[in-house]
Structure 1
Amino acid sequence: MQTKFISILAISTLFAANAHADAFSFSTGDPDFRIATGSRPGSTGKIEIESADDFVLTQNTQLNHATFTGLLAGATLSDIANVNVEIYRVFGKDSVNPPSGRVPTRVNSPSDIAFESRESANNSLSYSVTLLSANATAANSVLNGIHPIPNQTTGGEGAVSGQEVKFDVDFSNAISLAADHYFFIPQVELNNGNFLWLSAAKPIVGGSGPFTPDLQSWIRDENLDPDWLRIGTDIVGGTAFNQAFSVSGVSAVPLPAATWLFLSGMLGVMGLGKRRKAAA
């Protein structure tokens, strides 16, 4: 009887642990320096700006690490005060629908509000920064020119230079996400100057390879909130961008169907045997 109980317990535990963990990673590849876009939390004298680019999860996944690359314009490493990472779902999840109509479209944009967030200020993430180049230049930029229709297409704000830096971020509390389509948003607060997130090739080259649909990057500031603009199509015009980032962690892979059938059968047989013995 004890042996049977232990066997049932063991199989039940295995039955409940319905997946095994595989390493997960996604990357858009290295910066292509076509554009750099503001992304920062609000602070004294500076309104919040959010730049977003997308990734897809095909299984339940826990993200524990991320990277992103950008420029410190008019700033140095010592000016970094805080780092945030936000995860948004795709509109119309977490959103008011229909939207306000202040932007050309909300189709395939980030949702109105963040789904998950972590920040160094409350120790839910830690980060390190690597200086890649003391002087790098992006051909175009978006920082202040974020306007509702009909003034959304500014062409961008021109070339911008600064220190090229890569942030490595660890989440002290892993971000647990179901299989779905998401947007990744990094924000860097500086005591001086501006952080601008660098673009990456679209379609993806040298990263994890293209995926479908690979949406273009979006941006908003707190004056446009809750709406978003496409950095390429709406603001610059006639193009589309990805942004330079990666996310990694572990994904839960379901057990094969044959294993499920075997475990179900074993539990059924043992349960039936137990009932017969009790009846006797």
Structure 2
Amino acid sequence: MAAASRPAAGGKIEIEAADDFVITGQTQITSATFIGVITGAIPTVGEVAVEIYRVFPFDSVIPPSGNVPTRANSPSDVAYDTRDSGLATLSFLTSTLSPNFTAQNSVLNGINKSPNQTTGGEGPVSGMEVQFTVNFVTPFDLATNHYFFIPQVQITGGEFYWLSSVRPIVAPGTPFAPDLQAWTRNANLDPDWLRIGTDIVGGDPPPTFDEAFTLTGQTVAVPEPASLPLLAAGLSALVFARRRKKTA
């Protein structure tokens, strides 16, 4: 499955494709990779963005609109945190894995409110298979929780489609539970989301998808209770020093 995911640019509306991951301790995410297909005769990569969402009902309006079959286990209404090459908060490199690659099904324009959400997908797409390696200038600082990862790529002269991976996760991937399926939305569906497999492709039973990505980071040590007063005192001194510098 190839799911379009792009920022709003060049007269095209925003599309967000999302897949989940779990953090089990305070962690700083420093880099990521993701794999997709870039279509077009002479495509040019522009802006690259990465968004982190929490799982609904965090950061969301309750009750939801009712415009989709369900919001259970979906991403939230709004992003928890973002990084963007256009704002110089991330840098990226690309590497071509295959000059000619075909995904057997895709989602680009067929992202519709209920009851018209099930389209079966939009058929095969072909292009270059490309891996993006993204480094975050400021790491994502994430507490223990369940999150969604959303990469977006602006392409002039084509489209970017995020490719699915093996489901369930197998080595060298890191299995976790619950492993939620991939979701998508566009600006017309916002703030709601659709499941790419269950809602859009459909079937009996419907397919479910995981997307191809990796995250790299480091666990942040949490101070022991006895050290917290000292840490707090240090933070107070730091804030004070900054204030003095501003008023000098």
**Fold match, TM over 0.5?**
yes
TM-score (norm 2): 0.87
Among 40, 43, 46, the alignment partner of 2:12 is: 46
Structure ID, larger Rg: 1
Q: Name the aligned partner's letter for residue 246 of structure 1.
A: T
TM-score (norm 1): 0.78
Partner Cα separation in structure 2 for residue 233 and residue 153 of structure 1 = 8
C-alpha distance after superposition, 1:36-74 (max 9, x if no partner): 000000012210000000000000000010000000011
Partner Cα separation in structure 2 for residue 164 and residue 51 of structure 1 = 17
After superposition, residues 11-26 of structure 1 pair within 5 angstroms as: none
1:192 match: 157
Contact 1:217 1:240 in 2 (8 A): yes
The RMSD of aligned alpha carbons is 1.6
1:252 match: 220
Q: Name the aligned partner's letter for residue 7 of structure 2.
A: P
**Count of residues paired in the alignment:** 225
Among 12, 15, 30, the alignment partner of 1:64 is: 30
After superposition, residues 71-90 of structure 1 pair within 5 angstroms as: 71-74=37-40, 76=42, 79-90=44-55
Partner Cα separation in structure 1 for residue 89 and residue 119 of structure 2 = 37
Q: Name the aligned partner's letter for residue 214 of structure 2.
A: S
Deviation at 1:209, TM superposition (A): 3.0
Deviation at 1:253, TM superposition (A): 4.4
After superposition, residues 205-216 of structure 1 pair within 5 angstroms as: 205-216=170-181
Among 53, 63, 70, the alignment partner of 1:98 is: 63
Q: Name the aligned partner's letter for residue 39 of structure 1.
A: S
Relative to 1, partners in 2 of residues 1:110 and 1:241: Cα closer, same or farther, differing over 3 Å? same
Q: Name the aligned partner's letter for residue 41 of structure 1.
A: P
Determine if the alignment matches structure 1 residue 172 to structure 2 residue 131: no
SS of 1:232's equivalent in the other structure is: helix
Deviation at 1:75, TM superposition (A): 5.1
Q: Name the aligned partner's letter for residue 241 of structure 1.
A: F
Q: Name the aligned partner's letter for residue 66 of structure 1.
A: A
SS of 2:177's equivalent in the other structure is: coil
C-alpha distance after superposition, 1:113-171 (max 9, x if no partner): 00000010111000000011000010100000000110101000001100000000000
Contact 1:74 1:193 in 2 (8 A): yes
Contact 1:75 1:190 in 2 (8 A): no
Partner Cα separation in structure 2 for residue 40 and residue 92 of structure 1 = 24
Q: Name the aligned partner's letter for residue 209 of structure 2.
A: F
Percent identical across equivalent pairs? 57
Give ranges in structure 1 of 5+ residues lacking alignment. Answer: 1-34, 268-280
Partner Cα separation in structure 2 for residue 100 and residue 110 of structure 1 = 14
Instruction: Flag as ranges the 4+ runs of structure 1 deviating above 3 A.
Output: none
After superposition, residues 129-278 of structure 1 pair within 5 angstroms as: 129-237=94-202, 238-254=206-222
Q: Name the aligned partner's letter for residue 182 of structure 1.
A: Y
After superposition, residues 2-17 of structure 1 pair within 5 angstroms as: none
Partner Cα separation in structure 2 for residue 83 and residue 129 of structure 1 = 11
2:242 match: none
